[in-house]
Structure formats: C-alpha cells, structure tokens
C-alpha cells in the first residue's frame, strides 16, 4: 500500500469502494493555499476555476460544483423540470436504487425502467415506452437517463454509438438526456477517448471528483448556461449553497489536472483480480466483463451467502461489499497496488468453500 496516505490503516485492503481514497499530498497543499471567497456572495475563485475546468473537459458552457453525486443528479432532475412526467432509465440505475427515492419524492418524476443489457437500455423498448407515455392517460415523457460507467452492471461502459442513438431519440421527441457519469473518466479511459466525446451525447452530465480521482468531496454538474443557472438556484433551495468551498474545490482541481490518466492502473488491477478469481473458480468472475474498476462477483454457486464471504474475507483484513444475497462488489482504486491484489486473491482462496 505504498501510495496510501499515512492515516490509512496499512494492513487493511479496502475494496468496498473507490470513495475510500484519501487526498494526495498535492491536494492537501492546494487546499492550504487556495484563494478563497464567499461562493454564494461574490464567488469563490477556486470554485469558479474548478467549474470552468469541468465545463471545458466536458465541452459544455457551464458547470456547478456540488457536494455529492446524488445532489448533482437531483439538481439535474429539478433543473430539467417535467415534474409529474416519466424518467426513462434501466432498472439497475443508481438513481432508481441508491438515491433514496429522491426521483419521486423531491423531483416528482415517475420512474420508467427499461429492459437493459449490461446497463445499456434496449433501444426498441425505450422508443416504445416513449411513444406509449406520449399517449393519453399516461404521464408525459420528461427525461432520459443513462449511467456510465454503470455501477450495478459492474463498471460497464456505454458504447458511444448507443449513447448517440439514445440522445438522437431524445432530441426527436423533445426529451432532454441526462448522464450519470459519477465515474465519467473511468469510462473515457476505458474507451480510449475523452470525457467530451461522452458528454456530447448528454444535455446535462454529473461526474464526481470524490471517487477514483481521490478528492475528498465533490461532484460537478455540467450543461448549458441556462440549465446550470436553474440548477444553481435549486442548489440554494435544497440547502446546498457553500461559502469558502474553494478549500475542497482546490482538491477537485488537482484531481482533474493530474489524476485522470492513472485510472488505467485501477482498471489493470481490476483485471488482475478478475483473472485470479476466475482461475480460482470460473463461476466467480468473468474477466471479459470487467471494463473498468468495478467487479461484481457472483457467489450464487457456493453454499456461502455474500454476507458470509464478506465477513470471512474481513477476518483476513480484506473489505468487500456484499450486494444482495449472492453478489460481492469489489472496486479498485489508488490504494490497491499489486501486493493488495495478491493478498486479496490469497484471501479468496483461503475462504472459498473446498470442493
């Protein structure tokens, strides 16, 4: 764990999420020396610099700094409007499963899950759902929602051609498209392309600097100036206004300036883990499905529940997340080096039920 911050318990291999990454020394330094101001009064210069950088990277005209990805997604829904209408996404979307129902209770949208494959909505059922919704007696279509990389689908990356077709479908029906790009740069690195190429197929997009990019806090919502002005007003409305937020934006700037290219190391570590686990038991992992830094491990073929696997791995100082009865989620990040991968594989071998 050579890259771990000194405060990180060195003996623990924490694969529960890439959100456990600690700020780098460069981030701490930038936070200490950042020019600051009252962001909701005269503006905080470091926040403004981060928002400009985010907009530039995504090829959009404006950006808004928010404390979390969940808030960025919520503000997108509020800013696009369409209260009472339907939001189309795949059933496994983070929005539908892990954002505490804000889609319904705060944004006032009706979830319309669309059959999907590895996080990508099937286009024909999507088109049919939009025309059905547009008919009398159903809520009107409000928003199309894509997620890349896709958390529930094991870090799957949406193909750009698929995103382009979904965006075109939205445009031809007058429906805005939002992309939950919490791990946007993992998707860009995996595609060998740029964030801009992905964001080109979105009217708004949220990405996080607090995950694999190692900043302690923060996400950005990008879009055109009018949409972001709306989102800025809604941020105040839900109590998300911040003051000298440059302290945290400074770390976000370091993340965007210097932490993107190294994400490929995390993808390589995930591949090594997937190959090692598949060697141990081909039912556990499918290396061909691991495109980025998330592995979904299928434990259904074993007599142990996912929770039992997690607790037995924990006894070996390996932390993983049990997700449902028969799935483990492992996420690689900056603190998972080669030695950590080897220790994880050894622990899996030790706890795997013997045939």
Ligand X SMILES: Cc1ncc(COP(=O)(O)O)c(C=O)c1O
Per CB under 6 A, residues contacting ligand X are 68-70, 73, 94, 147, 151, 180, 182, 208, 210, 219
77 versus 347: smaller Cβ distance to ligand X: 77
Closer Cβ to ligand X, 111 or 139, answer by number: 111
Q: Which is nearer to ligand X, 151 or 291 (CB)?
A: 151
Of the candidates 177, 211, 217, 169, which has an alpha carbon nearest to the alpha carbon of residue 76?
177
Q: Taking the complex as a whole, how short is the minimal distance between the CB of residue 39 and ligand X, in angstroms?
A: 19
d(CA 208, CA 221) in angstroms, rounded, equals: 9
CB closer to ligand X out of 183 and 343: 183
Nearest approach, Cβ of residue 180 and ligand X (Å): 5
CB of 30 to ligand X, least distance (A): 20
Decide: 141 and 147 in contact? Cβ < 8 Å: no
Choice between 82 and 119, CB closer to ligand X: 119
The runs of H, that is alpha helices, within the chain are 25-33, 45-58, 69-80, 94-98, 102-105, 123-133, 160-172, 184-191, 195-199, 225-237, 246-258, 263-280, 306-314, 338-351
| Neighbouring residues of 136: CB distance < 8 A, sequence distance ≥ 6 | none
Distance between CA 241 and CA 183 in Å, rounded? 24
**Residue 230 exposure: Cα atoms within 13 Å on the Cβ side:** 14
Give the nearest distance from C-beta 339 to ligand X in angstroms.
Answer: 26
Q: How far is the CB of 87 from ligand X (least distance, A)?
A: 14
Least distance (Å) between residue 148 CB and ligand X: 9
What's the CA gap between 19 and 247, in Å, rounded? 19
Give the shortest CB-321-to-ligand X separation in angstroms: 11
* Residue 151 or 344 having the CB closest to ligand X: 151
Which residues are 176's β-sheet partners?
A: 143
Of residues 20 and 345, the one with the C-beta less far from ligand X: 20
Q: How far is the CB of 73 from ligand X (least distance, A)?
A: 6
Cα–Cα distance, 263 to 185 (Å, whole number): 8
Edge-to-edge strands of the sheet including 321-322? 294-298, 327-331, 321-322
Nearer to ligand X, 119 or 246 (CB): 119
Write 125-131 long-range contacts (CB < 8 A, 24+): 126/88, 126/166, 126/169, 127/169, 129/86, 129/88, 130/88, 130/169, 130/173, 130/175
């Amino acid at each position: 764990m050579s890259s771990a911050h000194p405060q990180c318990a060195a003996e623990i291999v924490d694969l529960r999420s890439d959100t456990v990454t600690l700020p780098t020394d460069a981030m701490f330094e930038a936070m200490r020396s950042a020019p600051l101001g009252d962001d909701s009064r005269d503006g905080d210069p470091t926040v403004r610099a981060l928002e400009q950088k985010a907009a530039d990277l995504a090829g959009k005209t404006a950006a808004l700094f928010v404390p979390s990805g969940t808030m960025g997604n919520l503000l997108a829904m509020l800013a696009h409007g369409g209260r009472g209408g339907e939001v189309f996404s795949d059933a496994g979307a983070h929005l539908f499963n892990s954002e505490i129902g804000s889609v319904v209770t705060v944004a006032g949208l009706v979830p319309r899950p669309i059959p999907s494959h590895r996080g990508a909505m099937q286009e024909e059922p999507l088109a049919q759902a939009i025309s059905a919704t547009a008919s009398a007696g159903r809520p009107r279509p409000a928003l199309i929602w894509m997620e890349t990389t896709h958390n529930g689908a094991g870090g799957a990356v949406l193909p750009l051609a698929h995103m382009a077709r979904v965006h075109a479908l939205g445009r031809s029906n007058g429906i805005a498209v939002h992309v939950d790009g919490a791990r946007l740069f993992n998707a860009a690195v995996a595609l060998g392309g740029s964030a801009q190429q992905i964001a080109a197929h979105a009217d708004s997009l949220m990405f996080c600097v607090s995950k694999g990019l190692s900043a302690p806090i923060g996400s950005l919502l990008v879009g055109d100036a009018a949409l972001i002005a709306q989102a800025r007003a809604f941020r105040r409305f839900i109590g998300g206004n911040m003051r000298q937020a440059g302290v945290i934006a400074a770390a976000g700037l370091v993340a965007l300036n210097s932490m993107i290219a190294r994400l490929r190391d995390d993808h390589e570590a995930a591949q090594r883990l997937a190959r090692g686990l598949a060697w141990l038991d081909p039912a556990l992992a499918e290396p061909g499905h691991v495109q980025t830094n998330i592995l979904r491990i299928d434990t259904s073929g074993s007599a142990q529940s996912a929770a039992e696997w997690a607790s037995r791995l924990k006894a070996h100082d390996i932390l993983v997340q049990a997700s449902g009865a028969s799935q483990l989620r492992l996420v690689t990040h900056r603190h998972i080096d080669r030695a950590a991968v080897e220790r994880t594989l050894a622990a899996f071998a030790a706890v795997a039920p013997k045939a």
